[in-house]
Amino acid sequence: MEPNEWSDYSTVRNGGMRQNGMKRNEELCNELAPRTASLCITCRAGAFFLQISMLECVHINPYEGAAPMIPLKRRGIILDMDNTILRSRIDFKQIKNEVYTLLVRAGIIEADLPLHDFTASTLIEHARLSAKFTGETEQAVWTVVSELEQAGMKDAGLEPGVVELLKQLQQDFHLTILTNNSYTAAIQALRTTGIEMYFDHVIGREQAVTMKPSPQGILHILERYPHLSKEDWLSVGDAWIDGKAAMEAGIRFIAYQANQPELERRGIVPLGHIDELHQLLHYL
């Protein structure tokens, strides 16, 4: 056998390993050339090929000294928090009703408002349109919301399979949280459940400026990763507001245990629907 002619190789694709056996280096390079983000490794005879793009395959000889590895581009995933990765007891319907009652009593919104069309966040944004929505009223609203959030986050647990999924994703993806909860409540919950370490950024309603379904929170995250395109991002959430924010920001959305009729009514078209978190891997 001629030196450098054969390589024992594996391919890496989307974070998974697949052993493919023995092939000539030239054949291997030609086969892998059309595949983006594929990597030949484990050289047997002294040389191997590293594919770095769809158009270029580079020959590396390890006997000439250590060659720098070219890392595969890490993409991004934006995760909702409540009822997506955390199983909280927040009563969102109660929050909406309490906010509604406060705003009606203050004469800011009409009592006959079609409440079923609103979430607490969209109700608050609707109230902002009124000149009667003063700083004092806003503070009262957030006091009510925060108290109910804190009560609901007490003894919050993890959705099944969260830790295993995050451990796997962390190696190849930038992981971020976008929640309509307060930043303080979110951080406390993530620390208590022991998963804060897996996330690059946690964006609460204070950082997002306007809450979901506004796309501002997602755009805020994307600005922190200028080297990634919108096609490199995926959003995961359980509610229509998560899907709406993703669609308006121009990124893909995966619905987790979501109300499909509600998504359809709102015009939300997910990339896919999943009932278990590990199913997310099928879309990566």
Tell me how far apart the alpha carbons of residues 2 and 179 are, in angstroms, rounded to a whole number: 59
Beta-carbon contacts of 133 under 8 Å, excluding residues fewer than 6 positions away, are 108, 127
List the chain pLDDT tens, one digit each, 284 residues: 433 333 333 333 333 433 344 344 445 444 544 444 333 333 333 333 333 333 333 333 443 444 455 556 799 999 999 999 999 888 999 999 999 999 999 999 999 999 989 999 999 999 999 999 999 999 999 999 999 988 888 888 999 999 999 999 999 999 999 999 999 999 999 999 999 999 999 999 999 989 999 999 999 999 999 999 999 999 999 999 999 999 999 999 999 999 999 999 999 999 999 999 999 999 99
Predicted pLDDT at 271: 98
- Residue in the structure block whose two tokens are 């976008």: 178
Instruction: Indicate the fold that domain 75-88+157-283 takes in CATH.
Output: Rossmann fold (3.40.50)
Token pair 């493919």 in the structure block, residue: 20
Which residues on adjacent β-strands are paired with residue 105?
none
| CA dist., res. 43 & res. 7, Å (int) | 5
- Determine contact, residues 172/192, Cβ cutoff 8 Å: no
Q: Which residues pair with 24 in a beta bridge?
A: 6
* pLDDT computed for residue 25 by the predictor: 44
Can you give the residue ranges of every domain in the chain? 6-64, 75-88+157-283, 92-153
* 92 and 144 Cβ atoms separated by less than 8 Å: no
pLDDT at 35: 42
Crossing angle of helices 120-127 and 135-153, rounded to 10° = 170
pLDDT at 270: 98
Cβ atoms 45, 3 nearer than 8 A: yes
Residue spans of beta strands (DSSP E) within the chain: 6-13, 16-24, 48-51, 57-60, 75-79, 86-87, 157-158, 173-178, 201-203, 233-237, 252-256, 272-274
